[in-house]
Amino acid sequence: MFAPLRALLFKKALRSLLASQKRNRQVHTLDSARTVGVLFDATSETARRESLEFVHSLEKQGKKVSALGFFNVKQAPENQPFDLFFAKETSWLGKPKSEKAADFVKQKFDLLLTLNPDELPPLEWLAAQSQSAFKIGFATSRPNDFDIQLETPEGKGIRYFTEQLALYLGKIVLK
């Protein structure tokens, strides 16, 4: 009953946040970025595994990577090898209230990747709040601040998205 109202109010708050944002945009590729932020949905085992595999591949390339996972459940599983927050640490609208989320947003990354195929409001909010130079995410129907949005077919997961990401960013020629 309250879900449509919550979605409408979230969309309005997101528009307001985006209108007040001023960030220095700069194009980066996977090769040129030294610092990379990764926001991802950690709720499902498959998405979590694929996201962490991508994070580890970036680290092997010598990138300084900060990853933050979101569990869309009331209590997150313990002993996870990454920073996380969960549904109980969000406001009624879906804005994150956790200390780890606040610390993540304070960092200015060269490249911010939002692995959020289900359009979870807390991840959208953090992506909009970030002052990263170049932001990339899944195509979304909500207002956003992404520099590149990749649309993926239904049923294709994070791995497909990251493959397409590497393909498209590989075509960018920096001067």
- Hey, what amino acid is at 107? Q
What pLDDT score was predicted for residue 35? 97
What pLDDT score was predicted for residue 82? 94
In this prediction, residue 7 has a pLDDT band, given cuts at 50, 70 and 90, of confident
What pLDDT score was predicted for residue 75? 85
Question: Residue 9 corresponds to which tokens in the numbers above?
Answer: 């109010």
What pLDDT score was predicted for residue 45? 93
What pLDDT score was predicted for residue 21? 86
What pLDDT score was predicted for residue 76? 80
In this prediction, residue 140 has a pLDDT band, given cuts at 50, 70 and 90, of confident
Q: Model confidence over 108-126: pLDDT tens digits?
A: 999 999 999 999 999 999 9
CA 105/CA 125 separation, integer angstroms: 10
Which of 97, 102, 100 is CA-nearest to residue 87?
Answer: 97
Q: Model confidence over 31-85: pLDDT tens digits?
A: 999 999 999 999 999 999 999 999 999 999 999 999 999 999 988 888 899 999 9
What pLDDT score was predicted for residue 4? 87
The per-residue pLDDT of the chain, averaged, comes to 93
Max avg pLDDT among 9-13, 22-26, 104-108, 143-147: 104-108
DSSP string, the chain: --HHHHHHHHHHHHHHHHHH---------TTT-SEEEEEEE-SSHHHHHHHHHHHHHHHHTT-EEEEEEEE-SSSPPSS-SSEEEEGGGB-TTS-B--HHHHHHHHS--SEEEEE-TT--HHHHHHHHH---SEEEEE--SS----SEEE---TT--HHHHHHHHHHHHHT----
Is the whole model's pTM more than 0.75, yes or no? Answer: yes
112, β-bridge pairs: 37, 135
The CATH architecture of the domain made up of 3-170 is 3-Layer(aba) Sandwich (3.40)
What is the residue extent of each domain of the chain?
Answer: 3-170
